[in-house]
Amino acid sequence: RGIRVGYTPDVLTDATAELSVALLLSACRRLPEAMEQVKNGGWTTWKPLWMCGYGLSDSTVGIIGLGRIGQAIARRLKPFGVKKFLYTGSRPRPESAAEFGAEFVSLTRLAEESDFVVVSCALTPATQGMCNKDFFSKMKKTSVFVNTSRGAVVNQEDLYEALVHRQIAVAGLDVTTPEPLPTDHPLLSLKNCVILPHIGSATYATRSTMAVLAANNLLAGLRGEPMPQELLL
């Protein structure tokens, strides 16, 4: 129909990567649960294993989708002392992976060997429901699962079962299906699941940059000029 489309790529890469790391740390170190213990009087005397979680040092991190955001996440996690990075996707990305010494592996191997799994891939017919019962059954019982891509990449019923039966240790989600997630959703009843309201790009600077770029796309389109960021169909 001759409708031109402007969009805002790259703008939210850093903000989403930062949020992914924050969510991973919140989940693996049980921060929301620990904060609740402070508020409800659960914090009493010191106990050896109370509020213990999982650390990144000497761990293996598996990244599903080593695109711009996946690379930005790996770049931020590397200084935590991660021992090994694995990644999977539609194809190997040797030039991008070289920075982290990341190894391209199958989805199965990534699930089996990773202590932390971070999903940052695009939602496509190939990735829809990819993280399902079969995937979670291959993960370690001590593993941490984080999704900041799209909710539909994960089968949420299967994730719930995996968390309830301790097939995996903990999950952190910034994206769900649907959004907003109903307040009576079973995942919200679990202590070992941290869910955020899709705030990956929610920094003042990022949202301002997005707005300015969207406005400039619109103005260029109205003038019949090339947009700063135009989706060429």
- Active site positions, annotated: 198
Q: What are residue 144's DSSP bridge partners?
A: 116, 170
Phi, psi of 215 (to 5 degrees): -65, -40
Cα separations in angstroms, 149 against 17, 102, 112, 218: 11, 20, 21, 27
Q: In what order do the strands lie in the sheet with 84-88?
A: 103-104, 84-88, 60-64, 116-119, 144-147, 170-173, 193-195
108, 59 in Cβ contact below 8 A?
no
Phi, psi of 62 (to 5 degrees): -105, 130
Cα separations in angstroms, 195 against 11, 40, 118, 125: 23, 20, 14, 24
Distance CA 100, CA 80 (A): 13
Distance CA 171, CA 187 (A): 10
